[in-house]
Amino acid sequence: MATQIKFGTSGWRAVMAEEFTFVNVRRAVTGIARYVVSQKPQGARVLVGRDPRFLGETFVAMAADILARHGIVPLVISGPAPTPAIAYEVIRAKTDGAINFTASHNPPEYNGIKFSTPDGAPALPEVTKKIEAAIAEADQNPALAAPEGREPQPKQEDVDVRPTYLARLKEIVDLPAIQKAGLKVAFDPLWGTSRGYSDVVLRESGVEVSTVHDYRDVLFGGHAPEPDDHLLGDLRQEMRQTGAQIGIATDGDADRFGIVDADGTFLSPNYVIALLFGYLVESRGWKNGVGKSVTTTNLINALAAQLGIELHETPVGFKYLGELIKQDKIAIGGEESAGLSIRYHVPEKDGVLAGLLCCEMVAHRGKTLRQQLNDLFGKVGSFYPVRENFRLTPEVKEKFTSKLETDPREFFGRKVVEVVRKDGLKLVLDDGSWVCFRLSGTEPVVRAYAEARREGDMEKLSAAAREWIFA
């Protein structure tokens, strides 16, 4: 029996040679091709890109062949390309979507497929359900899956997304201000797709930047290409050696960001989004709104209230924030898992842009990120977020799932003043602290998010969340 291919919040991902096989890749791409043809029977054009993972070139060639056999012009991107650069090219070149072979920040043994719709956004659930149905239909009736004997009709076209995307970044970011401030930057692409993007755009603008991990390694140094605190030691060392005032990093496909302050402190993505929200209002005058997932810091809520700006809180998944960007309802949208984008840009996470905007903010304000955060705390109060994952046995999961349906009136010795069910269960307490529990859709794991109003309460609140899960 064929493996069921399910597209999650960011496409389909699986372990290479287990579920991510040539056979299953053919099935997935065939489903996408059939969906595209159902939307545009003649003259469709689809971008095909990849990150630097093992066999990426082979998968791209396979996808181009399948698209051509379905009468779709494959626009093959030369070399690994950032997810946001692919999204921008979809919009700029008015293509009928993009297939991107990437497992983003997942460990090197994984690969995946992201499908972007013609608006440059990650495919919404209504689209991925149709793709999954098209895969299942072709499984049942192989004649639907462009038989091998059918010759590819349209010729493949080769495209380079780098020049146009870099030109767009130069329009968005005040690069001359970074150069004028004499800011020194250290950059870590974590062997991923932002190599030759973040550093090049800075260097071309006269900014002094030094790069680590600037070569292809399909094993990403032996760990996940995730720009998280514990994986940025080499970036910190580079900062010390070069005297850099900021360190910027991206994940494998450059849709997530990691930011290190001048003293080597890793800045939580929660704080980065909040700071950039305030900075965009200050520097651009954008007051149309702000978007955040329900699990992202309420520091953004407090700042929105102070500025009199409308707040949009969404379920987890950047596609929901992307919709708000498309509708021009928000100046910035962000998730605590290190994804953000801004007004007039792609409805997709952009880790390259996030790092460059942080450089601009430090240059303009002339203060470290920690100093800026302390200023923000002084204005709206302090917030201390933390997140943990807990693996559940089947018995505990069943009991906990029932618990999620309850409405606790007290938690952590405090009164529950609001119960939010936008995604999972979020309990807001009377001092403004909160906890949120979300069950994973793919594994027996519960994600517990907590945010205290005092630093000393962080660990206690997190411990209370853990106790509530297993009690």
Question: Is 7 a domain residue?
Answer: no
From CA 120, how far away is CA 95, in angstroms rounded?
9
Q: What domain range includes position 430?
A: 384-470
136 and 194 in a single domain? The answer is no
* Residues linked to residue 449 through DSSP beta bridges, in sequence order: 387, 436
- Please list the pLDDT of the chain residue by residue as tens digits (471 residues): 678 898 876 789 999 999 999 999 999 999 999 999 999 999 999 999 999 999 999 999 999 999 999 999 999 998 999 999 999 999 999 999 999 999 999 999 999 999 999 999 999 889 999 999 999 999 998 877 765 545 667 789 999 999 999 999 999 999 999 999 999 999 999 999 999 999 999 999 999 999 999 999 999 999 999 999 999 999 999 999 999 999 999 999 999 999 999 999 999 999 999 999 999 999 999 999 999 999 999 999 999 999 999 999 999 989 899 999 999 999 999 999 999 999 999 999 999 999 999 999 999 999 999 999 999 999 999 999 999 999 999 999 999 999 999 999 999 999 999 999 999 999 999 999 999 999 987 678 999 999 999 999 999 999 999 999 998
174 and 138 in a single domain? The answer is no
Amino acid 275 reads L
Question: Is 210 a domain residue?
Answer: yes
395 and 254 in a single domain? The answer is no
Question: Is 1 a domain residue?
Answer: no
From CA 46, how far away is CA 157, in angstroms rounded?
10
From CA 260, how far away is CA 262, in angstroms rounded?
7
Other beta carbons less than 10 A from residue 464's beta carbon: 18
402 and 344 in a single domain? The answer is no
Half-sphere exposure of 38 (CA within 13 A, CB side): 12
264 and 132 in a single domain? The answer is no
From CA 216, how far away is CA 54, in angstroms rounded?
10
Other beta carbons less than 10 A from residue 378's beta carbon: 9
Please name the residues in contact with 391: beta carbons below 8 A apart, sequence gap of 6 or more: 443, 444, 445
Task: Return the residue matching tokens 């992201």.
Answer: 114
Amino acid 253 reads D
For residue 390, give the CATH number of its domain: 3.30.310.50
175 and 36 in a single domain? The answer is no
Amino acid 24 reads N
Question: Is 441 a domain residue?
Answer: yes
Please name the residues in contact with 125: beta carbons below 8 A apart, sequence gap of 6 or more: none
72 and 148 in a single domain? The answer is yes
Question: Is 5 a domain residue?
Answer: no
From CA 437, how far away is CA 140, in angstroms rounded?
39
pTM: 0.96
Half-sphere exposure of 115 (CA within 13 A, CB side): 27
The predicted structure's pLDDT at residue 144: 77
Amino acid 422 reads K
> Which contacts of 39-45 are long-range, i.e. CB under 8 A and separated by 24 or more positions?
39/96, 40/96, 42/71, 43/73, 44/71, 44/72, 44/73, 44/96, 45/72, 45/73, 45/75, 45/93, 45/95, 45/96
For residue 104, give the CATH number of its domain: 3.40.120.10
From 359, 380, 401, give the residue that closes a domain. 380
